[in-house]
Structure 1
């Protein structure tokens, strides 16, 4: 999806820095018009594409990009295509979104300004085979750890451990320590609301 979260100026700067590179953007426009898209001979907008076509596109790419603007709209954004790029085992260059850097900082090369972004793309294209092989190994581990099977197993473990943990934290009079329980739940919340309101 191409929307206001994409740093269009960054894309233009990248295209200008390397006129021989072909910059490909696929996805529907959302909330922006075509006039917001930078116009360069080497920038290609493919528009909406079926998900099934993604492997074909990835097969012809050399570096995958996460050119997001860093602002309030993207502060907690971790683009799902990050894992798709990893599954394709292609180099990834992006802007320093907190969730991307925090979760995949050892895989995704992040750059805070246009010049650094351009240089990161250059370095990705010139990476030694051994370096790329090491990155691929980390990609495979990341993809495996975030599969639905792995996620379900992790949640099942957490749920199975919760009663045991709660039972081991009681106050002097034998009652459960409500303060401990509240503190333990701050980091994770699961809610079902049938009324349409906040849980």
Structure 2
């Protein structure tokens, strides 16, 4: 147990992220909002490119005391000047820190402007295999190798990624996607149908999340074509794909992005959850947060063959796995027809095993073990 020190300066955690804080509420938001109970949390995003005449910086205050920092760069800024600006922004933040400092990386691409920082603890939360995404930066793999050497503790976002990475660090731990059961469990009690969904007929087969290269959009279109009497509801922003290339049909509804707070009413009025992930390099190591979220909402789920969905959810009979469009249709028909009471009992037993609160508590214990002095004031220069 770590005892609070009267009048102690709160430690600071600076997260270096390739993801926008306000884009989609996912793993970083779940973890860092909880970290804010123990740390002053600052999230430094990748630069925003604008028509500004000179580099700048935007500070945004978000719920739970999170401070979001966005470096601003004019279009045409050279890579060297971009790194220099990001380094100066980070140095300005660090110069004002009196307590201990944890650097929390989501992307190795932040190393060139942060490797000089003398952090008390360095964490790499490897939530995705970024090198498998479309058009990865040429230096990504080399920088990831360097970050793995520097990190005091490494977390992986799922079992498949942990299995592939376990040999690369002596202090690496698997923390798959967890669940805010109370938030999504509200859908089980029945909630009013959102206005942009109310006129859509049933049965409704729904997806929520980022619509990008990890989605098998062809499968979505094929399922809609095979069962024109089903309504396929797709919620989420698009990224890295052209929305004009998404399949279109009378029973296929692209409703756009929704806030995390607004998701339960949509799920409460669906009949089946759908996870049409493509089987490609970008999905080889994903651990979809929406798997337990669908289950907490009381929705039967049909997913493509993602390793971290098959084990444990498919193996336990909590999620149906399908590969082709005909298999997907058959699986959806099966889950809509079955008695849900025995399934609910198994679902709730599985969900009771974890929570985002527990994940953060376990991560924090590992961070403190990596350097127990992080609760104390460090007076030495960091840069």
Shared fold (TM-score, shorter chain, > 0.5): yes
Secondary structure at the residue paired with 1:145? coil
2:320 alignment counterpart: 109
Q: How many residues align?
A: 159
Separation in structure 2 between the aligned mates of residue 121 and residue 73 of structure 1, nearest angstrom: 25
Residue 303 (structure 2) pairs with residue 58 (structure 1): no
Structure 2 segments unaligned to the other structure (5+ residues): 1-209, 372-383
1:94 alignment counterpart: 303
Residue 212 (structure 2) pairs with residue 3 (structure 1): yes
Separation in structure 2 between the aligned mates of residue 53 and residue 149 of structure 1, nearest angstrom: 21
Separation in structure 2 between the aligned mates of residue 114 and residue 71 of structure 1, nearest angstrom: 17
Quote the offset at 1:154 in angstroms. Answer: 6.1
1:136 alignment counterpart: 344
Separation in structure 1 between the aligned mates of residue 254 and residue 323 of structure 2, nearest angstrom: 25
Residue 330 (structure 2) pairs with residue 122 (structure 1): no
TM-score, length-scaled by structure 2: 0.39
Q: Verify the 8 A CA contact 1:94 1:108 in the aligned structure 2.
A: yes
Separation in structure 1 between the aligned mates of residue 365 and residue 239 of structure 2, nearest angstrom: 39
Q: Note closer, same or farther for the CA distance 1:153–1:82 as it changes in structure 2 (3 Å cut).
A: same
Q: Verify the 8 A CA contact 1:63 1:125 in the aligned structure 2.
A: yes
Separation in structure 2 between the aligned mates of residue 150 and residue 92 of structure 1, nearest angstrom: 25
Greater percentage in strand: 2
2:280 alignment counterpart: 71
Separation in structure 1 between the aligned mates of residue 276 and residue 244 of structure 2, nearest angstrom: 18
Measured on the aligned residues, the alpha-carbon RMSD in Å equals 2.3
Q: Verify the 8 A CA contact 1:144 1:150 in the aligned structure 2.
A: no
Q: Could you list the structure 1 runs, at least 4 aligned residues long, displaced by more than 2 angstroms after superposition.
A: 148-159
Separation in structure 2 between the aligned mates of residue 90 and residue 97 of structure 1, nearest angstrom: 18
2:169 alignment counterpart: none
Separation in structure 1 between the aligned mates of residue 342 and residue 366 of structure 2, nearest angstrom: 31
Structure number with greater CO (CA < 8 Å, separation at least 6) is 2
Q: Note closer, same or farther for the CA distance 1:135–1:150 as it changes in structure 2 (3 Å cut).
A: farther
Quote the offset at 1:151 in angstroms. Answer: 3.5
1:46 alignment counterpart: 255
Quote the offset at 1:18 in angstroms. Answer: 1.0
